[in-house]
Structure 1
Amino acid sequence: MNVLFVAAEVAPYVKAGGLADVAGALPQALRAAGHDVRVVMPHYRALRETGVPMEGPIGASFLPVGAHAEEQRIWRATTSAVPLYFLDIPAAFERAAIYGEPDDARRFILFARGVMDAMQHLREVDGWQPDVVHCHDWHAALVINYLKSYYAYTFGHIATVFTIHNLAYQGQVHPDVAHLAGLGEGGLVENGLGPGIANSFNSMARGILYADVVTTVSPTYAREIMTHEYGERLDGLLRRRGDRVTGILNGIDTAVFDPSTDR
């Protein structure tokens, strides 16, 4: 299959936590199993400062966000074992921080819009289109929302997987952000998702709601997040989608961490 991974961090290029390890190692394992896996992530300032080898730009466009548009350039890593694309959106990622910025919602709306643009570029220029889009945590969740709504005519047939690494971080913001994202026309889907989620815009909730399959980092965690104690106010939604939720235990990349040889 053709599989596109979408993640805000990918080891060894940018890493804040375990998400980056999965987004770095799992595509390599899937390629070794015979699948054409590619990865897309933001082009953070740190990539330029550390001199990560890349070629391009291989594509350029303007991304809508509310009444404005921001420039994007697409670069391709030249030394990665897996085809890896960096989305260079200066308004969102030309800064030191990965997360924790006051405008994170706008930043990752732009990232999701950029992914859709990159998918169109890959289809038109390379003749490549994913059978599966695999998105990780709230930063990438709106890609699934766009695939099932705004871009459904073009890409609605593509299967989607949403992986929850940390349910506590949801990208929950003011409901006006729905219009910023261009997703306000149908109203707030969050209003039907229970107390604490209604009257907000919640990227994590949208990923869970629209994905064909929802996975998380272990079978135990998959069970825990369906409980009121650990569900972070999304347990009702997760139980509703329970037949599509599964836990797959995170392993280790033995090419990097080999207990038999690493003292």
Structure 2
Amino acid sequence: MSFEAPRMVNSKGGQIRIFMPRYGNINERRHQLHEVIRLSGMNLVINDLDMPLIIKVASIPKERMQVYFIDNEDYFKRKATLTDEEGKLFPDNDERAIFFAKGVIETVKKLNWSPDVIHVHGWLASLLPLYLKHYYANEPLFGHSKIVTSVYNSGFDGALDKNMMAKVKFDGIGEEKISDLAKPTYSNLMKVAVDNSDAVIVGSEEIPAELVEHLKTINQPVLEYKKPDEFAEAYEAFYKTEVLV
């Protein structure tokens, strides 16, 4: 859905940009990635360390869409995406999530683009709503932007680094906003994303029971799971009637 949803909006005349990590297993030559110098060249502070932000871009000519890749050699050069060859989560996945959230927002700022809807897919992007609502709360570019988070069943076992909450607190985000990160499991990360979003979409036919229960407690509009042959029309109506109001 992370590709099908923007393709649907794009086909309806919307202006779409896709942002994703530049994982090391992405073939830059095959997909014709190139660094955008005017967007790169800044550092993001992650847990008191300066980490260079590199922005690369590729296009999907058939769909007339551009994909922006958030890159950093320390975080994304490795060939695997989220786990090592033994299936263990990388110990710095929490910092990669912080870097990705900040990197996307800083790139959008440099593009001077004010999106109507920011649609978040996947747990590595789960901190983006939190940072938009709090760390970048006074950024006028996002004053009218609405955040939609899709919740899937593609999570992970165990938890990320136990110091993740302290690393987010370093950015001045109050502990009361991130209490779920005391134990950064998949469900808890998604709770943080959901709680800082303006609307939620259930993207899988089944999601963890803990998230099912959490969605019953929120005030934001929730679009229940839609099958592949009916989601496009449902998403469009949801954007128009529940998000952009």
Establish whether TM, by shorter chain, passes 0.5: yes
Moved beyond 4 Å, runs of 4+: none
Specify whether residues 165 and 157 from structure 1 end up closer, same or farther in structure 2 by C-alpha distance, changes over 3 A only: same
| CA distances 1:145-198 after superposition (whole Å, capped 9, x unpaired) | 01110101112431000001226448843553123234564114354xxxxx57
- For the structure 1 residues 188 and 109, does the alpha-carbon distance in structure 2 shift closer, same or farther, using more than 3 Å as the test? same
Residue 70, structure 1, aligned to residue 51, structure 2: yes
Q: Describe the SS at the equivalent of 2:135.
A: coil
Does structure 1 residue 120 correspond to structure 2 residue 109?
yes
Task: String of CA shifts for 1:224-251, please: whole Å, max 9, x gaps.
Answer: x5xxxx423x444321116522214141
Q: CA deviation at 1:98?
A: 1.0
| Partner-residue secondary structure (3-state), 2:150 | strand
Q: Compared with structure 1, are the counterparts of its residues 167 and 95 closer, same or farther at alpha carbon in structure 2 (3 Å cutoff)?
A: closer
Q: CA deviation at 1:99?
A: 1.1
How many residues of Structure 1 are paired with residues of Structure 2 in the alignment? Answer: 214
Matched, 1:160 2:147: yes
Measured at CA, do residues 25 and 147 of structure 1 come closer, stay the same or move farther in structure 2, by a change above 3 Å?
Answer: same
Q: What is the rounded CA distance, in whole Å, between the counterparts of 2:95 and 2:66 in structure 1?
A: 27
Residue among 123, 136, 156 paired with 2:121:
136
Q: Provide the residue aligned with 1:258 in structure 2.
A: none
State percent identity of aligned pairs.
Answer: 28
Question: Partner of 2:131 in structure 1?
Answer: 146
Please name the residue that 1:16 is paired with.
Answer: none
SS in 2 for 1:46: coil
**Aligned partners of 1:116, 1:145: CA distance in 2, in Å?**
12
Deviation at 1:134, TM superposition (A): 0.3
Taking the aligned partners of 1:175 and 1:235, their CA distance within structure 2 comes to: 25
- Whether 1:240 and 2:214 are equivalent positions in the alignment is no
Compared CA separation, residues 187 and 231, structure 1 to 2 (3 A): same
1:206 paired residue number? 192
- What is the TM-score of this pair, normalised by structure 1? 0.72
| CA pair 62-171 structure 1, distance change in 2 beyond 3 A | farther
Cα deviation code 1:192-218 (max 9, x no counterpart):
xxxxx5732442111011110010125
1:231 is aligned to 209
1:189 pairs with 2:167: no
Does the Cα contact within 8 Å between 1:138 and 1:171 map onto a contact in 2?
A: no
Gap regions ≥5 residues in structure 2: 84-89, 231-245
Report whether the alignment pairs 1:83 with 2:66.
yes
Structure 1's unaligned 5+ residue stretches are: 1-21, 192-196, 254-263
